[in-house]
Amino acid sequence: MNPDRPGNAAISLWDATSAEPLTDRDPLAPGDVDLAIVGGGFTGLSTALHAAERGLSVQLCEAETFGYGGSGRNVGLVNAGVWLPPSQVTATLGDKTAGHFLRIFGDGPRRVFDLIERHQIRCEATREGTIHAAHNAKGFAELQLRHRDWSALGAPVELFSASEIAARTGSPAFAGGLLDHRAGTINPMGYTRGLARAARAAGARLATGCRVTKLTREGGRWHLETTKGAVTAKSLVLGTNAYTDTLWPGLSRLYHRIRYFNVASEPLENRLTNILPGRQGLWTTAPIMTSIRRDAQDRLIVGSMGRDLGGVTRKWATRELRRLFSDLGPVAFETSWHGDIAMTPDHLPRVVHLGENAYTPIGYNGRGIITGTIFGAAMADLLSGGDPADMPLPLTELGAPERFSGVRELAYDTAFAAHQFARGLL
């Protein structure tokens, strides 16, 4: 576990194993700044870094520690695009908007890996691609559509048969697969802390353990009351995504949350020779998807939708690994955790205009690493005088909340828990 965290309790494997140290004890520096940011995950820290590099004075406030929310609990797959295939994005957004959006988000992994290289972020980065694996024939048909769509846009993607994907994964359980060469894997907490280190070096002020309790707009400035003092700012960015609370009324009802859990084995060393030998991360086409990846110490990390239910979750993981890799043998698990994902009705993210010089990117639909990074840079461009037309997506207003979001969350939680119980008993 991480010796720097009070109580010696890590929130995830990534927290415990990050080579980037935990350096989140800065006090709040009260005063007036160009930009105030709420939230210290991918979005907030990318915004802070890029805004400071553009010459803006920045104060970030994080209620807990960097990466405490979804950023430090992420699977760590650096995937291109969004939840939907490009043709569905185009059907929703129209040709012009979708073309602009897909160019930017298709290039998302490169932008992440460029930041890692430029700032020498220690986050176990691999650039060997990721595999979308078909759980059955219907899933393979979906991958054929994705392959056609991305190939038409010039993306380096390869479609594999069942036998070919078996060689790539070490499992005969898949009907085929799609390898995206743009993608890769990281330790997401290492990436988060590296962004914080780079943002500080660029001049941003970052305060942790600093919960914002009230926001008001007076005299052309945003006034933030926090548990560590007060800040005023010309502009405001909320970077809380699925961990949004009641600070801005109605904001958390723009999406519904689903949980995603991960279970990490102990290091398995030479037992993983045939399992994901290229070290690509993998996720499946199943409605209740499974993800699998290796870390730098040869742990096998398997996850799915739902909460971490302790012993139930580990039984599920045991059965799932046995189903996929029958020759692996018994596996001891080291740790497990879960995080929250913000899902929107159309599976597309938003950049919401909250008021004068106030914005929030939200609804990442399981693509937090590239979305938070891209939207952070876009926020910095906009707030330093950029053209709103250059944003990855048009700005939207707060609008009406998603109907029955609480009911959806309960229904999904129940279904995912039932899935764990059922598969753990098979």
pLDDT digits (tens, 9 = 90+) for 13-60: 999 999 999 886 678 888 899 999 999 999 999 999 999 999 999 999
d(CA 84, CA 75): 19
First-to-last CA distance in the chain?
33
Closest CA to 302 of 341, 273, 275, 274: 275
Q: How confident is the model over 113-141, as a mean pLDDT? A: 98
pLDDT digits (tens, 9 = 90+) for 331-384: 999 999 999 999 999 999 999 999 999 999 999 999 999 999 999 999 999 999
**What is the domain class of 9-74+189-255+346-402 according to CATH?**
alpha beta
Quick one: pLDDT at residue 21? 92
**DSSP for residue 406:** H
pLDDT top residue among 329 and 5: 329
Quick one: pLDDT at residue 30? 80
pLDDT top residue among 5 and 420: 420
Closest CA to 70 of 130, 1, 15, 17: 15
d(CA 344, CA 71): 18
**DSSP for residue 192:** H
Closest CA to 392 of 348, 355, 343, 342: 348
Identify the residue whose tokens are 């305060």: 207
Q: Strand pairing partners for 59? A: 36, 205
pLDDT digits (tens, 9 = 90+) for 258-303: 999 999 999 998 999 999 999 999 999 999 999 999 999 999 999 9
Q: How far is CA 6 from CA 24, 64, 203, in A?
A: 12, 11, 27
Share of the chain above pLDDT 70, in %: 96
User: What ranges do the domains of the chain cover?
Assistant: 9-74+189-255+346-402
- Average pLDDT of the chain is 94
pLDDT confidence bin for 3, thresholds 50/70/90: very low
Helices (H), 239-360: 311-324
pLDDT confidence bin for 406, thresholds 50/70/90: confident
Beta-strand relationship, 157-160 and 177-180: antiparallel
Q: How confident is the model over 163-172, as a mean pLDDT? A: 98
Q: Are 287 and 140 in contact (CB under 8 A)?
A: no
Q: Considering the entire predicted model, what is its pTM?
A: 0.95
CA 366-367-370 angle, 5° bins: 160
d(CA 344, CA 352): 13
